[in-house]
Amino acid sequence: MRVHQTWIPAFLLSHAISNIAQHVEWDGEDLNIHPDRYGNVKFAVLADFGHVETSPHAQKMAHKLNTLCTNNDIHFIVSTGDNFYGTVDFQKYWIDRFNIGLTSCKWVVLAGNSDYKDILSDYHHALGKIEAQMEGPQGEFGDKWLMPRHNFIGIINGTDYEFAFLDTVEDSEQTKRIIKQRENLLVNMNQAKKYIVFGHYPILSNIQGDLGKKVTYLKNHFDKNKNILLYCASHVHALELLQYHDRTQSPPVPSYVQVISGAAGAFLNQKANDKDYRVMEDGLEIGKPIHSEIKKWKEGSYEDNYALKNALEVLDVKRGGEMENGLVNALKSLSSETQHPRHVSETPAESKQKERRGKVHYGESRNGFVVFTLQTQMHMLHLTYYTQDGISDMKTKEFQLYLDPTSGRVHMPG
């Protein structure tokens, strides 16, 4: 029996497409973000999805994202980078992977460190690969991908809030123009507004640790600017929620919040394999990373430490393999003096990190993403962490943040 399509599905499709288009648009200078009639801005954040081999849960995540979009539970999607680990192939790594269609949400996209590399071919040089992403996909889904420039502002019309989108690329001769653009954006932020900032490199991760000098400029800027409420990053292939405590004041006061959402498809980072930080009762404290011990040995710092040197040589250290697991056990079996000789002193950066601890509210090494609901009229931010658990539907973990527009602080229950 032949089924005839009626005018109702076509009308609903047209309405859905129109509704998607009205929430986010690029005007040539800034990203314009339009809240709904209740003053809410709803969007999903994910990253690190462009790996050649993806998670077996990728299709379930794609289905959930499209359902949220169709139901108007999110207005757009933000990717904070590592969109293409290899060659830029929109069809394979974006359209097919996320089932992009006419009713899909628009994506606002930033570059990650892997977007400056091409591990599969030499077709794109580093900046050429970024330019290819900025050009976007050709065809009917071209308007779904918004990557207008390296650094830009998102203006949320009629509210006290703005978004800042940053390219956290490291300094080099080829990236000086990009970094200058980033510095200008940070310096010229509207001091009358409160900001949610997006970038690839996190300032701190409880699962993977600190990135050191790569994010020093962000730390310094965030410490000076109390109008930054939240920083959303990725790079770490996991989901996290942390709040920093400003310990320069007594007693320490809560400062900005950091969300990490980097678990959209690539291999996952596991806390058991990252020894840079440990969680203390009152927050984060630096620990001695196993991989730093390996590095110091390779650089000759432990030439006079025969016990450790011999153990490492026998194990023939290979990162990520069984030999390294043996190394971890060997290091644990050595005495405290052997693991951490007296001549290895704490760096100024490590000392500073101890002064600025935070509280870990959430951490999960599972595939997933985070949905933000910014209630601009109520000055509240609702976070929903979606994680894939086996063959069942995605599980959720929710957090409610209170945004104090006067002090610029973020308050979290518990």
| Domain spans of the chain, in order of start | 18-274+356-411, 289-339
Place of tokens 């993403």: 369
Structural contact between residues 339 and 241, judged by C-beta atoms closer than 8 angstroms: no
DSSP state of 269: P
Short-list 134, 129, 162, 160, CA closest to 149: 134
- The model's pLDDT over 299-358, given as tens digits with 9 standing for 90+, comes to 554 444 444 544 444 444 444 445 445 555 554 454 333 333 333 344 444 444 444 467
DSSP 8-state code for residue 195 = E
Q: How big is the CA angle at 384 (ends 380 and 388), to the nearest 5 degrees?
A: 175
Task: Supply the DSSP string of 61-103, one letter for each residue.
Answer: HHHHHHHHHHTTS-SEEEE-S---SSS--HIIIIITTTT--TT
Q: Give the CA-trace dihedral at 347, 116, 114, 145, to 10 degrees.
A: 130
pTM over the 0.85 mark: no
Q: CATH number for 18-274+356-411: choose from 3.40.50.1100, 3.60.21.10, 1.10.357.10, 3.40.1050.10.
A: 3.60.21.10
Give the whole-angstrom CA distance, residue 242 versus residue 213: 20
Mean pLDDT of 198-206: 93
Give the separation between CA 166 and CA 233, rounded to whole angstroms. Answer: 10
- For residue 335, the tally of other CB atoms under 10 A from its CB is 9
Predicted confidence at residue 59, as pLDDT, reads 81
User: 145-146 and 152-156: which strand pairing?
Assistant: unpaired
Higher pLDDT, 24 or 320: 24
Calculate mean pLDDT across residues 84-97.
90
d(CA 112, CA 46): 12
What end-to-end distance do the CA atoms of the chain give, in Å?
A: 60
Q: Which of these, 362, 209, 214, 208, lies nearest to 286 by C-alpha position?
A: 209
Average pLDDT rounded to a whole number, residues 228-253: 85
To the nearest whole number, what is the mean pLDDT of the chain? 77
Cα separation, 23 vs 122, in Å, equals 38
Q: What is the DSSP letter of 180?
A: H
What digits encode the pLDDT tens for the residues 248-274? 666 666 789 999 999 998 778 876 444
pLDDT average, residue stretch 268-295: 46
Q: Above 80 in pLDDT, residue 367? A: yes
d(CA 112, CA 237): 13
pLDDT at 4: 34
Nearest alpha carbon to residue 367 among 230, 251, 268: 268
Burial class, 376, CB count within 10 angstroms (exposed 0-12 / middle 13-18 / buried 19+): buried
| Helix (H) and strand (E) counts in the chain | 11, 19
Q: Which residue has the higher pLDDT, 130 or 55?
A: 130
**What three-state secondary structure class fits 136?**
coil
Query: Residue 128: is its pLDDT beyond 90?
Result: no
Q: In what order do the strands lie in the sheet with 410-411?
A: 145-146, 106-109, 76-79, 40-46, 368-375, 380-387, 395-403, 410-411
What is the Cα–Cα distance from 315 to 343, expressed in whole angstroms? 24
Whether residue 154 has pLDDT greater than 90: yes
Which two tokens mark 203?
A: 């300032």
Q: Which of 276, 272, 295, 271 shows the shortest CA–CA distance to 286?
A: 276
Using a pLDDT cut of 70, give the percent of the chain over it.
67
Integer CA distances (angstroms), 148 to 18, 46, 133, 143, in order: 21, 18, 9, 11
What gap in Å lies between CA 273 and CA 271, rounded to an integer? 5
Judge whether 369 and 261 are in contact, CB under 8 Å: yes
For residues 86 and 120, give the distance between their C-alpha atoms in angstroms, rounded to a whole number: 5
| Per-residue pLDDT, 117 | 78
